[in-house]
Amino acid sequence: MTKVAIVYYSATGHGTSMAEKLAEAAEAAGAEVRLRHIAETVPPEQFASNPAWTANYQATKDLPAATGDDLVWADAVIFGAPTRFSSPASQFQAFIDTLGGLWAEGKLANRVYAAFTSSQTAHGGQETTLIKMHQMVMHFGGIIVTPGYTDPLKFVDGNPYGVGKVTGPQNQNDMDQATADALEHMAKRVVEIADKLA
């Protein structure tokens, strides 16, 4: 059974719902899944005025947080982070920065990797964020599996680099069907390619 780790950071909950959809789809494709959030590094009092951020923090703070061991365990890893000024959020980067020892030992190499993100606007840096996550994986010696345009549904969501969700200026957008379909397709593709490599 292919082992898939979904390792993500989410502030206002969009990444959490995307990660949960990926986990569901990967399990349906026959994988064993670890769903792991990246622990919040911002003190809760600093986002107390943001109801969505506070709600997501409260909902996930007691769940298992991601560690490097989750990547070592996995045959495939799906990373997720919101975009911040065209890059993954700093909380995601801080997690990546803890992996230096595993990288030096070659323990992050030869795994399948894919990525997802979100931004408030359609052109808010999703593609550059996904590419930057792929660049990190290149340093690991990972095998990047993008969804590409491997299914007609990708011409609907339009993102060959991974999956991106537009959250809206007030983070009000629920997950639409095109995003849900794209997440399901990417999870299945990750499991399929990881199975073939195994």
Amino acid present at 180: A
- What global pTM score does this model have? 0.96
Give pLDDT tens digits for 54-112: 999 999 999 999 999 999 999 999 999 999 999 999 999 999 999 999 999 999 999 99
Which DSSP string corresponds to 28-69?
A: HTT-EEEEEEPPP-S-GGGGTT-HHHHHHHHHHTTSPBP-HH
Confidence grade of residue 189 (pLDDT, cut at 50, 70, 90): very high
Q: DSSP class of residue 141?
A: T
Q: Residue 114, SS3?
A: strand
Q: Give the pairing of strands 143-144 and 112-119.
A: parallel
Q: What pLDDT shows up at residue 172?
A: 75
> Was domain 3-197 assigned CATH 3.30.1280.10?
no
Cα 52 vs. chain centroid, distance in angstroms?
19
Which tens digits make up the pLDDT trace of 127-157?
999 999 999 999 999 999 999 999 999 999 9
d(CA 175, CA 163): 12
Give the pLDDT of residue 168. 84
